[in-house]
Amino acid sequence: MYSAQIRDIVAAHGRLLVDVATLRDESDLYEAGLTSLSTVNLMLALEEHFDVEFLDRMLGRKTFQSIQSLSEAITELRGNDPTCPADPINVQLQGAA
């Protein structure tokens, strides 16, 4: 449900070794170069963008393993509300600053 927005945020904050556009939603982000530090940056960007806070039980490698697992976590936190107050383009610009 949120894959496109998450993909943009991963591209801006994940510091992957490969282009996010080449990854499938199920691809392992850690194999693509996600580190523990970039995971924290990604988590903070996702929380800000989607106006959520990851639950303690979600703060593990399994949640941040893929775009699909992140989308499932965001869906759980936001419910079925697909609207998002933030603009994905602004997230990319903020990540470049």
Summarised one tens digit per residue, pLDDT across range 53-92 is 999 999 999 999 999 999 999 999 998 666 655 444 444 4
Domain limits of the chain? 3-79
Integer Cα distance of 64 and 76 in angstroms: 14
Residue 58's alpha-carbon distances to 43, 65, 67, 97, in angstroms, are 10, 11, 14, 28
How many CA atoms, within 13 angstroms, populate the side-chain half-sphere of residue 29? 28
Tell me what the mean pLDDT of segment 40-65 comes to. 97
pLDDT above 70: residue 16: yes
pLDDT above 70: residue 2: yes
Whether residue 67 contacts residue 25, with contact meaning beta carbons closer than 8 Å, is answered with yes
pTM (2 decimals)? 0.82
Reported as a pLDDT band with limits 50, 70 and 90, residue 1 is confident
Integer Cα distance of 41 and 37 in angstroms: 7
- Give residue 92's pLDDT: 47
Cα of 64 vs its chain's centroid, Å: 7
Tell me what the mean pLDDT of segment 17-42 comes to. 98
CATH code that applies to domain 3-79: 1.10.1200.10
- Give residue 83's pLDDT: 63
Q: What's the chain's average pLDDT?
A: 89
